[in-house]
Structure 1
């Protein structure tokens, strides 16, 4: 009778078919760290470079250190349930030492170890900041008004639209869509942009918000890789009157509600009706409801409302309009007519 010898681990002698789990885990290089990892970043905007591509980073430095340290860590494919604890310190302004304490299981055996990597921070101006600092641009949005100067509200609206469009496009990954400068000129507002896509979007949004019409004027400035390069001027021509303007038409005060194609949709501030008039029927501008002053209602008598002048606090009487229902002790919005020195009730 021949005795059958049990299978044993050739390394430790424990019963096993081949190497036992413990010896197999002990002989496996399960934890490897790259000694060095490099981070290329823009010192102006903190963008990160990955290969040849720049991207905006939305994480803080501690999170970035963790991401870079983990990228230098290589675990065996059979490690399960790994946990990583990272600590770091900066021996110099452009160096960070990251230590990683790693634990998990390999072939069912608990394993733990540590490794260290050096993070090298290297500065490089990104593609966007390089263009901005070099004065590069592809388009100019010129915001102008017909036969008048832009109002402060129109300038603020146009600038806000430009800034919001820049944020939306860059958040969507269009890094080279940037506003390089916004200049107030004697003629209006100039917005210089880094891409024609952005210029078209901003100009269209300004036209939609403020009215008027948009025309484009491209200029060939060269070629790149066989493609013609154009620099485009986007001219936004705002109408003579803007929304909220109060004008005099045939001796009546009317508020402009919409403009376009030489016509004005107006609200009659005396009888509360809406109608259309030709733009050239407006005799003169009184002001804009956005500049209206708040006046206290002192008394009501028949069809007369007595208000306190917001500047002098003297009593002024106005005729009550049917579309407005003031109350004693309440407030109304008024505009001063600079020509007749009368108050116009606008709300």
Structure 2
């Protein structure tokens, strides 16, 4: 020790200035804890309330407890190399006692402290569940078909798209885009939605998947904070013909691929070419490729293919179509033309 060396005024050890690191760390409180933290959650959907905002953030209960407990702890700003552990125990149906253990270094001196935090679980109906239980809605999506009733496939697709749109918007943070009712009626599907954003998205996606168009019909229902409130009916009209329909025109068979107003973009099932048909050129509807049967390929020749009729088990000879590659012993999809007593290869 030289005459210029500083010593700690408390313990007498050498130090650069003032208290030595050990005495300084001993005089410094590592943790400051709030004794209680309140966690507000919705008992219906388990969403969490953070401040004034509800969140659908899902996490395991253990992780949530640890996050809440740590949020009640303030750690000294000079602490480094921290390790935090939380032990918890439910002491009642709405209370959880937590012990927070913190280890680290303070002024290069190893330190550790613990503190106790109690979590109070508080139930409250969230903004979304409150609206749903109160019958709140901002729009209705009505799915109908032109000059016919919608079929089971279209009903299933419309309902599935609605649920996908709801999930997608809620995952993006739009909590109030919910479906409060999805009704399967004799005329079609009615989807009651909690936001106009969701109604618009469902209408767009349904017409994109099934064709047709939609129109919007707003209705003034009141005023809030000086702004007019509207409920909107999204009226979807699916086309008479559907994607996948096989139609007959001038003796040929065509699969509908797209519908644009009164014109059909079709695939020629004989030549494999794509063309356009006006609805007035269609003589009759054969069926839809979704309802095709599987027929076993019995033999193949350059210009002919033999198929086993799945109903009679007789071998039928059909002209080969250039866009298919039938393999003996393998199935191929066909539709039955009862009027002409023939099978039509559809893929």
Shorter chain as normaliser: what TM range?
Answer: over 0.9
Deviates more, 1:330-339 or 1:180-189: 330-339
**Alignment of structure 1 residues 1-347 onto 2, 5 Å:** 8-16=7-15, 17-300=17-300, 303-347=303-347
Q: Report how far residue 160 of structure 1 moved.
A: 2.1
Deviates more, 1:71-80 or 1:293-302: 293-302
Q: Deviations over 1:215-260 (max 9, x none)?
A: 1000111111111111001111111101110112233322112111
Quick one: distance in 2 between partners of 1:99 and 1:62? 13
Quick one: distance in 2 between partners of 1:24 and 1:302? 95
TM-score (norm: length of structure 2): 0.92
Query: In structure 2, do the counterparts of structure 1 residues 13 and 237 end up closer, same or farther at CA, with 3 Å as the change threshold?
Result: same
SS in 2 for 1:200: helix
Q: Report how far residue 64 of structure 1 moved.
A: 0.4
Q: Deviations over 1:112-162 (max 9, x none)?
A: 111111111111111111112222111111111111121222222222222
Quick one: distance in 1 between partners of 2:84 and 2:311? 69
Quick one: distance in 2 between partners of 1:238 and 1:290? 17
Structure 2's unaligned 5+ residue stretches are none
Could you tell me whether the CA contact under 8 Å between 2:87 and 2:99 is conserved in 1?
A: yes
Query: In structure 2, do the counterparts of structure 1 residues 254 and 18 end up closer, same or farther at CA, with 3 Å as the change threshold?
Result: closer
SS in 2 for 1:272: coil
Could you tell me whether the CA contact under 8 Å between 1:143 and 1:238 is conserved in 2?
A: yes
Query: In structure 2, do the counterparts of structure 1 residues 36 and 300 end up closer, same or farther at CA, with 3 Å as the change threshold?
Result: same
Deviates more, 1:26-35 or 1:303-312: 303-312
Query: In structure 2, do the counterparts of structure 1 residues 267 and 30 end up closer, same or farther at CA, with 3 Å as the change threshold?
Result: closer
Quick one: distance in 2 between partners of 1:53 and 1:77? 29
Quick one: distance in 2 between partners of 1:275 and 1:83? 69
SS in 2 for 1:102: strand
Could you tell me whether the CA contact under 8 Å between 2:297 and 2:332 is conserved in 1?
A: yes
Q: Deviations over 1:177-208 (max 9, x none)?
A: 11222221111111111110111111111112
- What CA RMSD, in Å, does the superposition of the two structures yield over aligned residues? 2.1
Q: Deviations over 1:58-80 (max 9, x none)?
A: 21101101101110111122112
Query: In structure 2, do the counterparts of structure 1 residues 18 and 287 end up closer, same or farther at CA, with 3 Å as the change threshold?
Result: same
Quick one: distance in 1 between partners of 2:245 and 2:278? 15
Quick one: distance in 2 between partners of 1:338 and 1:5? 112
Could you tell me whether the CA contact under 8 Å between 1:46 and 1:57 is conserved in 2?
A: no
Q: Report how far residue 310 of structure 1 moved.
A: 2.3
Structure 1's unaligned 5+ residue stretches are none
Query: In structure 2, do the counterparts of structure 1 residues 327 and 81 end up closer, same or farther at CA, with 3 Å as the change threshold?
Result: closer
TM-score (norm: length of structure 1): 0.92
